[in-house]
Each structure stands twice: as structure tokens, then as C-alpha cells.
Structure 1
Amino acid sequence: MNFRPLLVLSAFALVSCAPLPPPQQPAEKRYTAAELLAMKPGDLAWPATSVEGERSLREGVQADIRARLALPPGPERDAALPRLFDLVAQYNVEIDAARPLLLDALPTLGQRDAEFQRALLTAAHTLYAAEAAPLIWPLLPQLTASKPFAIAAYALLQADGAAADRLRTQVPQQFPAWAEDARLTALMRRLQPSAAVPPPLPELLAAPLRPGFPALFSLQRPGRQAMGLALVRGADGRFVREAGGQLFTSPQLALARSGLPGTITNGNTPQGLFAIVGAGRATNPNIGPTPYLLSKLPLEAGVAEFEHGVSADTAAWSEAVYDSFLPPSWRGVSPLKEAWLAGRAGRDELLVHGTTINPAYYAGTGYFPGTPQQGCLVSSEDWDPATGGLLASRQLTLAQVYAAASPRADLAGYLIVVELPGDGPVTPAEVLALVTAAGR
């Protein structure tokens, strides 16, 4: 694999799906299956991935961080904090310098709006959980919106798993109707872990979902600290093989920079079922020009769109409708309901995409060469250090394999994200055993 030289201060720079945008962004494009299949890596380039492009971006970001750190206490600095902590986490620089600003701001969050609370509590979870925890406990009763409350709770769990007992009591006291809120429902499931053994995964791999449509399966590890594998099942119900007969698999990361659960904004990719409704080219500079597959959660897509128009049913979304796509043995499995809860919580725009982020920033991590972003499924790519031209792309290959397995020009199909127990990267050998057991 061809990695560009490391240009940031740390080899573990964290990245986001939304850094500084380029001055001019082209309009997003949508692709048909034929257009996708005709594309070659040499057709694509992203100059910001060149050595010079990375250097320019890094220097601009560091200047922005320093300017925000230098602001005196007051409204201007307060307004600068959300972006400051986003950049600090994204580039893994000035973490120590920014820590006092977060710790000073936490006791004031009860008087702030929910979006400001979300941004700073996310920073606490991602960067400063241990130091922030003593300040978050007295803040909890002041957090009246479920999203910041849930993020605060996850930060406390990040600092000390024993916090679960106290939180399990506090949630229903503070939110008596918690079961009607998707984020709090997910939180309570986290606080009351089940010892139930999930059904055999081959039953899920063999499930028709809706007959006649392709499906992309993304198999991940709990915690998402290792690379998962994506595989494609064709519209005929058979998993795609390489020319030599081996099962097609492609490394893929489902880890968000925040590390928060899937029901939280910018959290990890939720487990469960999505609809794939097309392919396009993003304007986001961390995604780059390689076509993404557009996936939608329940509620983000209406029932008719999720069904791809094969049903005349105009019923509103319900958990029973979501369950109808799954095999009976998997309908009561709580982890696979995370996508349903994430849709209810308002998450959207979770794409299957490539990356312009330098993987060398993550040398030494368990998920190298993956590049975590904001909750999407990310495949690695290699860019020319001199020109920014695309040399090789796991994302383009995956999208083309999916397109070739579909009989439809609009690429309609399904995506399932599911975790496999174990440690380390998901391996082709264990996936092959599961597919073989599924008879597919």
C-alpha cells in the first residue's frame, strides 16, 4: 500500500467527515450502475491529497486552533469552542492546551443551548472523559434534552464503567418517559447489558430481506477498534466470488471519530438494516471524488422508498415494519434494532464512501489503515503524493462489485451492519465459514 509522508504533528491525528471546505465545491453528482461500472481510478483526482495540499491544509488548521486558544474569556471565545474542539480532535494537536477551556466551560453548560452542550460533551467523551467526569455528574440534572444527556452519560461510562448502576437509576428519575425517546432507549439498553446469545449469523446472511435486490453486508467488531469486512450478496441471493472462486471481501471501518454509539450525532455506524438508494459524488473534502453508495436509515427513507417501490403498502413506519425485513430469529435481537433507533433519533446521511485522509496518521492503531470519520462506512484509498491522482480504491471496487451484482440501474438494494464477537480485524476465513454455513 502506498502511503504518503506523515505531515501532521502526531501519527494518530483523528479526522472528521467535515473539515474546512474548499473555496468552491462542485455540485453533487448521481451515478447510474453503468456509469459506476465504467469508472477507473485514473479518472479521479483530489489535489488536496498531495504532499503540498496536505501541508497547506494542516498549516491553516493549526493557525485557526492557535487563534481560538488565544481568545480571552468571554462570548467570542465561547462561540469559538465547538469548532476549536472539533479541530483539536480531528488533528490530535493542542489537546493539553485546550483541556482547561473545556473543563472551565463544563459547569456552565446548564445555561447553554442543546447544540452547544452536544459539541462540548462530545469533546469530553472523545478527549477528556476521565478529567471531565467529576464535572459532568453535577451537570446531569441540568441537561433537559435527551441528546446531550445521553452523550454525558456515555462520557461517564467512558471514564468508569461502574457508572452504569447510578445512571440506570437516574435516567427514569430524570426522564420518566424515557422509553419513548430513541436515544434514551439505546442508553438504557447499554446500561442493562443482555447476556442473550444472538441467533446464528448464517440465518441473517441467508435472509432474503426483499427478494430480487442485492445486499451489502458489513461485518464489524464490537467497539469498532479493528477493521471489518464488507461482502456483497447479489440479487440472486448468492455472495459474490472473485474470478478465482474465492469469496469477495473488502476491508471497511465503521468507527466514528467520537466513538459514540450509533444513535448519537456523529457516532459510530449503527448496527442494523439500511436501504441503498443510489450512488453519488460528494462535495465533502474528507470523502473526495470516489462515488459513494447512498444508504438511508428507516424514517430517513419512507416505507415506500425503503421497499424500493415493490409494495403498494403506504403504512407508516413502525418497528413491526422494520422487523418484517429480518428473518424471524433476528427480529427480537436488540443490537440489530440500533438502525431503527438511529432513524428515530434523526440520524441521516450515513454513506458508504472512500477517504482522502492520510492513513499514515493512524499507524499503530488497531484499525489501521482505516480512517474514522463521522459515522459512515469508510474504505481506504491510495492517492498519488505528487499529483493527488487516485492510484487504487477499495471503495470504487466495492461499489462496482455491488453495481455488477444488481439488475437495476438505480442500484436499489440493502445494507446490513452487524457485529461479530472477537478481537482484531474480521478475517476472510471466518466470513467464508459463515457464508458457507448460510449456503450462499
Structure 2
Amino acid sequence: MNFRSLLLLSALALTACAPLTPQQPSPAEKRYTAAELLALKPADFSWPATSVDGERALREAAVADIRARLALPAGPERDAALPKLFDLVAQYNAEIPAARPLLLDALPTLDQRDPEFQRALLTAAHTLYAQDAAPLLWPLLPQLTASKPFAIAAYTLLQADGAAADRLRALVPQQFPAWADDPRLTALMRRLTPSAAVPPPVPELLAAPLRPGFPAIVSLQRPGRQQLGLALVRAADGRFVRDAAGQLFTSPQLALARTGLPGTLTNGNTPQGLFTLVGAGTATNPNIGPTPYLHTKLPIEATPAEFEHAEAAADWSEAVYDSFLPESWRGVSPLKEAWLAGRAGRDELLVHGNTINPAYYAGSPWFPGAPQQGCLISSEDWDPATGRLLASRQLTLAQTYAAASPRADLAGYLIVVELPGDGPVTPAEALALVTAAGR
């Protein structure tokens, strides 16, 4: 059986597990008001691909696709198959050793490829093979003339050897004299030039109104994103949501992308900083599933008016972004990552649920989280027999936010901020910060 036949079988198997038949068009995306969101129950949702049989068929089709791509002879057809190959290998955590030689063979030729192909393969190197790829990247680095592939290669070298920072820091201005005008290279240079500055107290950020009268989700995360963080909800009156017993509402949330790349790069981790929240909807991405997501936008992706949730006369600038932050946090570089990510063109970073089997990542420090492409992800429990939703941290978070909002359109904000420390962020840490904020 040839490669195209295997791809067809793979597509059919994927479709067989999907909630739509091949004859059904994808529906228009459903948008929710606050009242509609609050009326939902887990039993309202099912996703056949999360059942045991559905998930098995999906994985078998993906592994068959991987193996078909691996079996291709060297040449243009195999080259064209490589980006999707490594994407599947990373998602399903499958055939990683078998795919390694194809990546290492391709790296020395990347200077002859277009920037998007470079991005895809360098991302695979960073995600799966940093140590093996590093010796091949040093001679390639001067040939990478686009900032995105260059930055991915640099982060991969840094991951393989932290001592590479000095050499990389010297190379950036030599190769890109105008690096300070490029958001990806600006973020890279900040990573290569560690600051001794101590960030302001997090409670000052948690107490900040952003814009009065709007609710906010605060996502507390660890640097590196290898551990689960926690999402909190601050109501429109500025108080953090608690239950009837007075316990602070917290919900586990993963801000790690499969690539592990920084937030200024395609499919990188969720950027640290401020987003606007402009509603809720149902995604068409099968890895997100049917549970409503909260629709967040970065600066630039959103207009200044969408950030203000009102008319805005000013065009985007760093000063406009800073105006949403408390004064003590306006000069803090890490919280500018969202601003740089928006300038770099990142978009569609949502707060959503998950239909990917977390078992693919068993043994990882973020388990039972399941990383995807840079969004904030909450875990969900699906019935293994039927694929019906049993429990959803995502739905609970979205409804807690909706209940804390006085607005039918759910307009508000999202803040992602990192906390030093090891291990998952704990409810006790969150409570101490909220208490110190007087909220």
C-alpha cells in the first residue's frame, strides 16, 4: 500500500471518530452569552474520539500516518511529509527514535529551504532532539536569515547547553543589526541577558483594577511551564471568587505548549502578561473539543478598542499596553511577553478544555495535563465507553467567570504571571497572594 493510500485510510479513521460524518459540513462556531454559558451542564457534551474505541482508532490512524511518512524514500515527497510527521510524533509521543535520523539528515540542508519549512523542522529539533541537533545547528545558524527560525535554533542551542548564552548574545547583533525592532529577537536577547532586577510583589498586580468594572482570570504559572498552574477568577468588583464556605476558587491550568518554545514564537507557551477577553465559543479544532472556550486576544491581534472594551482613540503602542498595568509593573520585562507576542503575530490563544488522552504524557512533570499549541488548557473527564463529558475544569472555570461578570458579552481580561518555585502552584500559595492583595 502506498503513502497516499495510507493517508486516505488515516483520514477516514479520523473522520469515523469525529462527531460529524464526512457528508456533514462543519457548523458555524457557536458563541455564548453569559446566561447561555451558565445554563450548560457536562452532560450536554460528548466527543466520540475520547471513548476507548474512538481514541484507539484515532491513535492507530496517526501511528499509521507516522510510519507511512517514515517509510518514504529520500526525495521531495519525504521532504514535504516531514513537518506533519514531526507534529504527529510530538502529539502522540510515538516513534521518536525512528524519526530522529530524518530530522538530523534534514537539518544541514535547511539553509536551502523556505522559512516556514525551517520553522517546522527547527521546532521539532527543540521539542524532541535538542541534544542531538545542537552540533548541527551552530554551522547552520549564520545561514538563517529570518528571525523566527533563527530564534528557534538559538533556543534549541540554549536548551542543549546553557553555556551557549554568551556566544549567542554576541551573534544576534552581528547577524541582525536591527534586532531591537524585532519582537522575537528582543525576547531572545532578554533571555540571553538575565536581569538581576527583582519583580514587584505579585499582590500589587492582583489588586490592580486593569479597567474598573471588568472581571479577570488570573493564571499563576511556574517559569518553564513544566508544572500545572492555577487559574483564579476576580469578579467585576475586584474581589476574588470564593465558594459558599469561603474557600478561594482555584482551578488547575496548563500553560505549556508541546514545543516548549517561548511565547513569542509560533506554537510556543502561553505568553506572560495581559490579554483581553472578548467572549466564549465552541471550537472547530478537534483537540479542543466541544466544551466552550473563553476567547482571549493579545495586543495587536485585538484592537485598542477591544482591549478597552470601549472606544479608543489611540493606536497601539507599548505605552497603551502599560496603561492597563499598575505602575510598579510597567517596567517589568517578563510581563511584556504578551505585548511582544502580539507584535510577533501570535493569535488565537484561547482558554479551553482538552480531548487529547493525557496518558500520552504519563510520567511527565505536567501530567495529567496535555499540552497543545500554546493555549491555557484545563483537563476534562470523558466517559471511556460513550465519550460523554463527565466533569470539566474548563466548564467550571468558564461558568465561574461568567457568574462573576455583570456583562452578557463576558468582556474582561486575562493575566498570566509566573511565580518562582518548584512543583505545581498550590491553592495555599494562591490564597496567600490574594490575602496580601486584600482581595
The TM-score bracket by the shorter chain reads: over 0.9
Shift of 1:368: 1.5
Q: How does 1:7-406 map to 2 (within 5 A)?
A: 22=18, 23=22, 25-309=26-310, 312-406=311-405
Shift of 1:46: 0.4
The equivalent residue for 1:16 is none
SS at match of 2:162: coil
Q: Retained in 1: the 8 A contact 2:89–2:96?
A: yes
Deviations 1:353-398 (A, max 9, x none): 0001122233322212111110000000000000000000000000
Using the alignment, how far apart are the partners of 1:43 and 1:412 within structure 2?
A: 24
SS at match of 1:435: helix
Structure 1 portions without partners, runs of 5+: 1-18
Shift of 1:20: 6.3
Using the alignment, how far apart are the partners of 2:260 and 2:433 within structure 1?
A: 28
SS at match of 2:237: coil
Q: Retained in 1: the 8 A contact 2:108–2:140?
A: yes
Using the alignment, how far apart are the partners of 1:285 and 1:140 within structure 2?
A: 36
SS at match of 2:342: helix
The equivalent residue for 2:9 is none
Letter in 2 for 1:439: G
Q: Retained in 1: the 8 A contact 2:93–2:360?
A: no
The equivalent residue for 2:3 is none
SS at match of 2:102: helix
Q: Retained in 1: the 8 A contact 2:14–2:61?
A: no
Higher relative contact order (Cα pairs below 8 Å, separated by 6+ residues)? 1
Letter in 1 for 2:317: S
Q: Retained in 1: the 8 A contact 2:214–2:412?
A: yes
Letter in 2 for 1:386: A
Using the alignment, how far apart are the partners of 2:29 and 2:120 within structure 1?
A: 27
Q: Retained in 1: the 8 A contact 2:263–2:338?
A: yes
Letter in 2 for 1:284: N
Letter in 1 for 2:49: A
SS at match of 2:381: strand
TM-score using structure 1 length: 0.94
Using the alignment, how far apart are the partners of 1:183 and 1:191 within structure 2?
A: 12
Letter in 1 for 2:388: G
Q: Retained in 1: the 8 A contact 2:280–2:410?
A: yes
Please identify, of 362-371 and 325-334, the stretch whose mean Cα deviation from structure 2 is larger. Answer: 362-371
| Moved segments of 4+, more than 4 Å | 19-24
Letter in 2 for 1:84: L
Using the alignment, how far apart are the partners of 1:129 and 1:369 within structure 2?
A: 24
SS at match of 1:382: strand
Using the alignment, how far apart are the partners of 2:88 and 2:429 within structure 1?
A: 38
Using the alignment, how far apart are the partners of 2:424 and 2:136 within structure 1?
A: 36
Q: Retained in 1: the 8 A contact 2:229–2:425?
A: yes
Structure 2 portions without partners, runs of 5+: 1-12
TM-score using structure 2 length: 0.94
Deviations 1:304-359 (A, max 9, x none): 111001xx432110000000000000000000000000000000000000001122
Deviations 1:396-426 (A, max 9, x none): 0000000000000000000000000000010
